[in-house]
Structure 1
Amino acid sequence: MRIACGIEYDGEPFLGFQSQKQGNTVQSCLEQAISQVANEPVSVFCCGRTDTGVSARHQVIHFDTTANRSDRQWRLGINSSNHRAISVLWVKQVADDFHARFSALTRSYQYTILNRNVKPAINRHHLTWELMPLDEIKMQQAAEILLGTHDFSALRSSNCQSKEPVKTVSEARVVREGELIHFYVTANGFLHHMIRNVMGVLIPIGKGEKPVSWMGEIIESKDRRKAGVTAAPNGLVFAGVTYPDCFEIPRI
């Protein structure tokens, strides 16, 4: 049977989601905990891989198993065996044709900047600190250029393995709440480091170092060398995912 789970995790202790030969990852911790509950080896598939230090508010995973457990038994068992920085929010059996990654329609992320002249002490692993004043209105104007379908080759990592650089962005909002600036973005998919590279463009625009039009020029160039530096992972959170209604996957 195929089981889907919604999970949240603090990315600070992990070297990203995907299992690696060395170092602690979200996937390796999940597979160890789930395999213990299932009493058999289990492989985990996720909706979207996250980088070192990146957290998730509602990541979706799935795994296949022959073990017969109730949803409650799965949830309680995995959480009791899991790393303390990972929590299973919900569990449900799904159809065999459901796939956490390939069935997804959209993915959403949030990036948060603390914009003040004093560095953060609280939640410092989950915020990017920017000393210089940022103009969120100009950042929003630049973010709107992302909307629609574009070739985002200029905003992808050199290590990106995606065969298709064209993505459709349906949401791109910059919102200030006091000293915090939030960037909300939703698309049908993202390239490796795409959001952090977008922030590497939005932040200089917010500081007045570059014009709003720079975002469009970068996208049009399709040249990674034309864009800004890759922003820090601190502040980036995988916020959620949507699936076709037929799978009845919870939205949090």
Structure 2
Amino acid sequence: MALNYLATGPSNAPVVLLGSALGTTHLLWQAQVDALAGRFRVVAFDHLGHGGSETPPGPYKMADLGGAILELMDHLGVQQASYAGISIGGMVGLWLAQNAPERFKAFALLCAPAVAGGSPQMWTERAELVRTKGTEAVADAAIGRWFLPDFAKASPGLVAAVRHQVVNTPDEGYAACCEAIGAMDLRDGLASIDVPTLLIAADQDESVPADAVRAVADAIPGSQFELIENSAHLINLAHPEHLTTLLAHHLR
């Protein structure tokens, strides 16, 4: 199996898949796993090239990342599931909603644009930097965007744990996923999405501005949009209880 995963909760319960941010692992979702596992079979996984998953040579495309998730579902014998993803996990969710809607009951997508911020060249250059100098070269900048200063000061252990995930991500996997983001443009397929979809943004997100997420919500018929205040990119860590409540209400 290409993807590493952790499955928690009753084996006969509805399945929820959790996709993490660039440079992180399934551990990013621990608070939500603990809260949701009483009602759902929660499958938190590492993206291709991340954590304990396989790291084939890049570049990757969103179809590679999404295809690996569909293979995971087949491996687990899961015909239909709900899906929640943050950052690149949310971007892959948009791809799944457009390309395999029959496999999903609902989507909750956090800080997920339909087209990458910055130029494709920026993402190519970031990939080159990581292949040359390793993920350590981008870790501090990522952490700086992902947490508000007050939160980082109050939660140094949590921030250090996330940084540890970034620097331990395989260089090739991180770089190849950067290339997938840089090449992504999912805007044309948004109007075709007919699976119930919740878009969640953070009001102080420097990585994916709230307006970029709102634009996705505006383009998906019948979707819902929620703005989390006093948060940077990693909403599920900054406001775990609020986020878990939103997920529990929307997923099925």
TM-score bracket, shorter-length normalisation = under 0.3
Larger radius of gyration, structure 1 or 2? 1
TM-score by length of 1: 0.28
Q: Is the helix fraction higher in 1 or 2?
A: 2
